[in-house]
Amino acid sequence: MILARIQRQAIRSSPVILLLVALFVRPVNAQDPRPLDQTAPPPAKVISREERAQLNQSKDDKARIKLSIEMAETHLANAENHTTQQQFEGAAAEAGKYWALIEDALSYMKTVDRKGNRRRDLYKRLELALRAHGPRWATIRRSTPAEYAVWIKEIEEFARNGRTEALNSFYDNTVIRGGSEKPSDPKKALNKN
């Protein structure tokens, strides 16, 4: 008898339950939109043939690094101009050229001979240039739409990492890296204590 009454109540309430399920299923799905990838394609890291020829014709390491920095600053200025005119694709193209030149300069620095202070001076020149470029990239990033700002942020971080690499080159032979030294001979370790 009790079982029969429960079955009748379940049968009477089942249309109400189905109606509620039908009403609330769609809004739940509508609240979970799939995010679309709204980023622009990455800027092409390209050094033009003319620029490459100028870099290869430079007479020494100092001239090559100086020329690389000058060309990179030209592309950075062009990217700033394109950004102020809201031509973001042109700014992205110039940013890619800047990125390629700085990447080329950093890879070239690894081939420079370590003798004397020449390499250190070149790294210092490059570090000073990258330090000046950081705030300019931040300004460009703030005034670009989000889909392009992602790549500007990437270039900004690349320049910061390049600057860190340049600064680390000053200390690569003199700084002891973290970690404890393990003595090679246990007897010597006991004698020290």
Measure the CA–CA gap between 150 and 99, rounded to whole angstroms.
Answer: 14
- Number of CB atoms found within 10 A of residue 77's CB: 13
3 state SS of 44:
coil
| Segment 8-14 mean pLDDT | 71
Percent share of the chain, pLDDT over 90? 40
- In whole angstroms, what separates CA 143 from the centre of its chain? 18
114 φ, ψ to 5°?
-85, -5
Q: Which residue has the higher pLDDT, 87 or 9?
A: 87
pLDDT in tens, 107-133: 998 888 777 778 888 889 999 999 999
* pLDDT confidence tier of residue 26, bands split at 50, 70 and 90: low
What pTM was computed for the model? Answer: 0.69
Terminal alpha carbon distance of the chain: 90
Query: Is the Cβ–Cβ distance between 174 and 114 less than 8 Å?
Result: no
Q: Degrees (nearest 5) of the Cα angle 93, 97, 100?
A: 135
